[in-house]
Structure 1
Amino acid sequence: MKLTFIGIGAQKCASSWLFDILADHPEAALSHKKELDFFSYHYENGYAWYEQQFTDKPEAKAVGEISPSYFNEASVPERAKLYSPDLRIVLSLRDPVERALSQHRHLIRIGTLTGPDLRFETALTDNPSYIEQGLYATHLSRWLGSFPEAQIHVVLMDDIKSHPVETARKVYQFLGIAEDHQSASLHEKSNPSYIVRSRGLDSVVCTLRGAATRLGLDPVWRGLGRMGLQQLYRSMNRQPSHANIPAPSPDTLASLKQRFKPNILELQGMLGRDLSTWL
């Protein structure tokens, strides 16, 4: 199936919410799994492989996938343009300091960061991507060099939190699909931060959810969740991330805000949006 859109991140900026509100839209066809990373990490697989990764949905008006790795990878915009200059691009962003903190919690959750020292300050020194991925204006400028502004729709996490219905409607409108769809995931918090007690059990649950998605059984999976099974699993195998991760110091957060300030001000002008809450 030829794609009509891609979601490009940024990482830890509500891309899971976007995937979920599109996955159950009757006029949208999404990839079997959320992150294909084709234009960033699997480009050598070719277009034929790429287009085979999608749910067969002849009635779909919008076909696409969401891979947060795309936003800050320098080669991706031109690769995407070569595939189709008519692609529509959905970009989701949040306060870059909050994004960096969320990345830190995520790396601990999946086991990339381990050991006795899980402080944010330590990881910030060791991992430059915490800052690099939050330089939104820099990366967006690259995308605007490959695609016209009219083909890029920016979603802010602030809007998802305060106006999820209106935010989803604008995404649907941008993609040319029915705006009145009420997704079952509209008010859900997608991919929340947590620490797992058993990584093996978490892997089994993720595998089962992926199988349900591939088989078109998402409504059944959500039904089981509403019956209380999801809450039971979370109480058994998840705990809040702050239970294991020391809080960053106020000085660290203040320093980060100053580091991001020039880029935020540039982005503010590019989007025509007031981003003062990020400052």
Structure 2
Amino acid sequence: MSSDADQSRWLESWRCQYQINRSLRGQHDRIAALYRAQLPTFIIIGAAKSATTSLTTALGRHPEIQISQSMEPKFFGRHYLRGWEWYANQFEADPQRPLRGEASTMYSSSYGCYARTPELIYHHLGSIPLIYLVRHPLRRIESHWRHWRGRSKHCPPFDQLLRAPQLRQRVVEASLYHQQWQRYQRWFPQQSMLSITTEELSTEPQSSLRRILSFIGAKPDCTGLLEEAQLPLLNPAGSKGRKNVAAPSWSSELKQKTIDLIRPDSERFLASTGRPSTTWCWD
């Protein structure tokens, strides 16, 4: 390994994978069962930079719903080593708010520590409702890169989008929605999975929220959830270190190569979720 930090990360990843494998063999079932009354009843699985924070904030205002104390607990993956007590304590056993949810966008990533996330969720929570919030793939990539660039000096420049392995895995592959959707379809029945686009949520917030509320078993009443009939605007482009990061520019070549990579997956996703192939414009 190149450094003590690399060695430490590798060891932590190995330990995490080891414990997840034990969990899937049923060796943690008794522990998880102790906290059944505080575990999530629904999960938002992504995608990153698709207004998941705004959605969870709105849902958290509903009188029947509570959202995890930590933003993006990432328990069914990277943070599994924190243990079931830590995860359960993200919520309260509150009979007045029986619906509990969390949003971890890394659940729909290609990172190795999330490779078995769908199976792990299903094993412990069963066929709970899953919400997959997605955005125009190119707009999501732009926002994701800007977010990372603003927070880390190690983020490669935008023109290396398809050449830098970390950038491609972290930013580009998160826009391969059908690939991620299929991972969950292997474990969850169709009626347990709902996809919503950021564009639908932005242009039709009330009807989209009512659809989500009905899906997770809450009263479909949007009273008090919106701000001036719109979703609460959180994590804007200027926050979290991004205020000094200009929106990236696409070269013609990079844009076309990225479209060639992503568009077939996007069209399969749109078809599988009953949306027309013209949902997103690629010009």
Under TM normalisation by the shorter chain, which class is it?
Answer: 0.7 to 0.9
Q: Paired residue for 2:234?
A: 190
Alpha-carbon contact 1:32-1:54 (below 8 Å) kept: yes
Q: Paired residue for 1:169?
A: 210
Q: Paired residue for 2:255?
A: 253
Alpha-carbon contact 2:55-2:231 (below 8 Å) kept: no
The Cα of 1:77 is off from its aligned counterpart by: 0.3
The Cα of 1:137 is off from its aligned counterpart by: 0.7
Which residue of 131, 136, 142 maps to 1:90? 131
1:121 counterpart = 2:159 = yes
- Partner of 1:125: helix, strand, or coil? coil
The Cα of 1:190 is off from its aligned counterpart by: 2.4
**How many residues in Structure 1 have an aligned counterpart in Structure 2?**
234
Alpha-carbon contact 2:161-2:172 (below 8 Å) kept: no
**Equivalent-residue separation in structure 2 for 1:246 and 1:43 (angstroms):** 34
The Cα of 1:111 is off from its aligned counterpart by: 2.6
Q: Paired residue for 1:47?
A: 84
- Partner of 1:37: helix, strand, or coil? coil
What is the root-mean-square deviation in Å for CA atoms of aligned residues? Answer: 2.1
The Cα of 1:240 is off from its aligned counterpart by: 6.4
The Cα of 1:88 is off from its aligned counterpart by: 1.0
Q: Which runs of 5+ in 2 are unaligned?
A: 1-37
Q: Paired residue for 2:46?
A: 9
The Cα of 1:268 is off from its aligned counterpart by: 1.9
| Deviation string, structure 1 residues 225-269 (Cα, Å, up to 9, x no partner) | xxxxxxxxxxxxx74642xx5522233223211211211121122
From the superposition, tell whether residues 192 and 55 of structure 1 become closer, same or farther in structure 2 (CA, over 3 Å).
Answer: farther
**Equivalent-residue separation in structure 2 for 1:195 and 1:3 (angstroms):** 28
**Equivalent-residue separation in structure 1 for 2:124 and 2:157 (angstroms):** 42
Tell me the TM-score normalised to structure 2 length: 0.76
**Equivalent-residue separation in structure 2 for 1:29 and 1:195 (angstroms):** 25
From the superposition, tell whether residues 38 and 246 of structure 1 become closer, same or farther in structure 2 (CA, over 3 Å).
Answer: closer
- Partner of 2:97: helix, strand, or coil? coil
Give the aligned residue type for 1:122. Q
Alpha-carbon contact 1:109-1:194 (below 8 Å) kept: no
Q: Which runs of 5+ in 1 are unaligned?
A: 200-237
Q: Tell me the percent identity.
A: 25
**Equivalent-residue separation in structure 2 for 1:98 and 1:177 (angstroms):** 31
User: What pairs with 1:1-279 in structure 2 (closer than 5 Å)?
Assistant: 1-55=38-92, 57-72=94-109, 73-113=114-154, 119-126=157-164, 127-129=167-169, 130-182=171-223, 183-185=225-227, 186-194=230-238, 239=243, 241-242=245-246, 246-276=248-278, 277-279=280-282
The Cα of 1:97 is off from its aligned counterpart by: 1.4
Give the aligned residue type for 1:40. G
Give the aligned residue type for 1:262. P
Alpha-carbon contact 2:130-2:194 (below 8 Å) kept: yes
